[in-house]
């Protein structure tokens, strides 16, 4: 997607160092302007950055998905719904990431 290795590494670094959703949104816009439509792999990476930031802002320090179960941990406690982990209902990776994002947003 980004042919120049230095630019690609710099973009990865910016994604990893983003600290708020506005930064990720601006980066998404910038990448679209510079390189055209973003491939789904880049969109997923940016969505993961959004999830990381949102989780951190809500005090969640562990985010995992195992066997379609959303495993979240705040402090030393797992976040559960009625003593159960929430189960993803969607099947595609993009939809699952969005569902995970929405679930964490609901906890904020």
For range 63-90, the mean pLDDT: 95
Q: Which pLDDT value is given to residue 108?
A: 80
Residue labelled with tokens 């990381």: 52
Q: Which pLDDT value is given to residue 1?
A: 85
Q: What's the CA dihedral at 19, 22, 27, 32 to 10 degrees?
A: 160
Report pLDDT digits (tens) over 15-45: 999 999 999 999 999 999 999 999 999 999 9
Q: What's the CA dihedral at 19, 22, 27, 29 to 10 degrees?
A: 170
Please report the sign of the dihedral spanned by the C-alpha atoms of residue 37, residue 7, residue 48, residue 108: negative
Beta strands in 30-68 (DSSP E): 60-66
């Amino acid at each position: 997607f980004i042919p120049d290795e230095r630019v690609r590494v710099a973009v990865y670094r910016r994604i990893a160092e983003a600290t708020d959703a506005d930064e990720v949104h601006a980066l998404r816009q910038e990448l679209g302007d510079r390189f055209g439509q973003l491939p789904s792999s880049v969109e997923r990476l940016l969505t993961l950055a959004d999830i990381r930031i949102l989780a951190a802002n809500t005090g969640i320090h562990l985010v995992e998905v195992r066997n379609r179960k959303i495993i979240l941990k705040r402090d030393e406690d797992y976040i559960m719904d009625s003593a159960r982990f929430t189960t993803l209902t969607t099947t595609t990776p993009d939809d699952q990431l969005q569902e995970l994002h929405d679930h964490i947003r609901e906890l904020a």
